[in-house]
Structure 1
């Protein structure tokens, strides 16, 4: 699946914008997930985990990480779940 289609699926399912998607993707790459399929799998696990952490904003219909928290959340997730 092309990257754009995968991003659009993530947007529809989790309500994340392209900037958030690209940031998560880059952070996971930097954490050693160089294989695109493995990175997409871990990215979806991270987004599903974020839904369980009460980060979903019903009004915005999207996951909200808060200013400066995205890197922290991704790092915590990778350190504890990967």
Structure 2
């Protein structure tokens, strides 16, 4: 996805953005809502930042497969692992 297209995607209305995620990553609306809610409750309040994180997270978890697969408790664990990697990259002052 090019930079221009990526920027446009972040600004889609909520329904279209969630449908794009469902089509692009083969996830259902419940998984999408869980991921969105998880980032929100972990401090990513800005919708554009949150959508960017959702796309990054989903891209990582679909690199080797056509769809993301999360077993029981797997989604939370993968979100926590992703979060730890993102936080580790933020310089501490």
Give the structure-2-normalised TM-score: 0.76
Which structure is higher in strand share?
Answer: 1
Q: What are the ranges of 5 or more consecutive residues in structure 1 without an aligned counterpart?
A: none
Structure number with higher relative contact order (C-alpha < 8 Å, ≥ 6 residues apart): 1
In angstroms, what is the RMSD of aligned CA positions?
1.3
Q: Does 1:50 align with 2:27?
A: no
**How many positions carry a matched residue from both structures?**
76
- Equivalent residues in 2 for 1:59-74 (5 A)? 62-74=67-79
| CA distance in 2: counterparts of 1:49 and 1:63, whole angstroms | 9
In structure 2, the partner of 1:3 is 14
Structure 2 unaligned blocks of 5 or more: 1-11, 88-93
Give distance in 1, aligned partners of 2:71 and 2:45. 27
Report the secondary structure of 1:63's partner residue.
coil
2:42 to 11, 31, 49: 31
Structure of higher CA gyration radius: 2
Which of structure 1's runs of 4+ aligned residues deviate more than 3 A?
A: none
Rounded to whole Å, the distance in 2 between the matches of 1:71 and 1:8 is 22
